Chains A and B, each alone.
Chain A
Amino acid sequence: GAGVSQSPRYKVAKRGQDVALRCDPISGHVSLFWYQQALGQGPEFLTYFQNEAQLDKSGLPSDRFFAERPEGSVSTLKIQRTQQEDSAVYLCASSSRGSMNTEAFFGQGTRLTVV
Chain B
Amino acid sequence: DAKTTQPNSMESNEEEPVHLPCNHSTISGTDYIHWYRQLPSQGPEYVIHGLTSNVNNRMASLAIAEDRKSSTLILHRATLRDAAVYYCILRSWGKLQFGAGTQVVVTP
* Chain A interface residues toward B at CB < 8 A: 4, 31, 33, 35, 41-45, 48, 50, 55-56, 91, 93, 98-101, 103-109
Chain A residues with CB below 8 A from B101, complex form:
42
Query: Judging by beta carbons under 8 Å apart, are B95 and A41 in contact?
Result: no
Query: Judging by beta carbons under 8 Å apart, are A101 and B51 in contact?
Result: yes
Interface size on B, residues (CB 8 A): 26
Chain B residues with CB below 8 A from A108, complex form:
41-43
Q: A42-B99, A42-B100, A42-B101 are in contact. Are A98 and B44 (CB under 8 A)?
A: no
- Chain A CB within 8 A of B97 CB: yes
Which one of B46, B49, B95 lies within 8 Å of A33 (CB-CB)?
B95
CB-based closest 9 A-B pairs: A106-B43, A42-B98, A103-B46, A100-B32, A100-B91, A43-B98, A106-B44, A108-B43, A48-B95
* Chain B interface residues toward A at CB < 8 A: 30-32, 34, 36, 41-46, 49, 51, 85, 87, 91-101
Chain B residues with CB below 8 A from A50, complex form:
94
Which one of B31, B43, B46, B87 lies within 8 Å of A109 (CB-CB)?
B43
CA distance A1 to B44 in the complex (A): 18
User: Which of A45, A55, A108 counts the most B-chain CB atoms under 10 A from its CB?
Assistant: A45
Query: Judging by beta carbons under 8 Å apart, are B44 and A56 in contact?
Result: no
* Chain A min CB distance to B45 (Å): 7
Query: Judging by beta carbons under 8 Å apart, are B95 and A45 in contact?
Result: yes
